[in-house]
Amino acid sequence: MKKVAIPINKGKLSEYFGRCSYYKVFEIEDNSIQEKDIDLPDINHIDELPVWASKNGITDIITYKIDKQIITLFTKHKINLFVGIAIDTPKKLIQEFLGEQMTSNNRIITEIIDNK
Confidence tier at 112 by pLDDT (50, 70, 90): confident
Q: By residue range, what is the domain housing residue 68? A: 2-114
Instruction: Give the model confidence (pLDDT) of 51-90 as tens digits.
Output: 999 999 999 999 999 888 889 899 999 999 999 999 999 9
Tally of domains in the chain: 1
Residue 28's identity, in one-letter code, is I
Indicate whether 18 pLDDT > 80.
Answer: no
Q: Could you write out the DSSP letters of every residue in 6-18? A: EEEETTEE-SBTT
pLDDT value, residue 38: 92
Q: What is the mean pLDDT of residues 23-50?
A: 90
For residue 112, the Cα-to-chain-centroid distance in whole angstroms is 15
Residue 115 has pLDDT above 80, yes or no: no
- Give me the CATH number covering residue 59: 3.30.420.130
Separation of alpha carbons 93 and 99, rounded Å: 10
Q: How many angstroms separate the CA atoms of 77 and 34, rounded?
A: 23
Whether the per-residue pLDDT at 116 is higher than 70: the answer is no
Q: What is the percent of the chain where pLDDT is above 90?
A: 68
Pairwise CA distance, residues 4 & 63, whole Å:
11
DSSP states of 22-81: EEEEEEEETTEEEEEEEEPP--SSGGGHHHHHHHTT--EEE-SB--HHHHHHHHHTT-EE
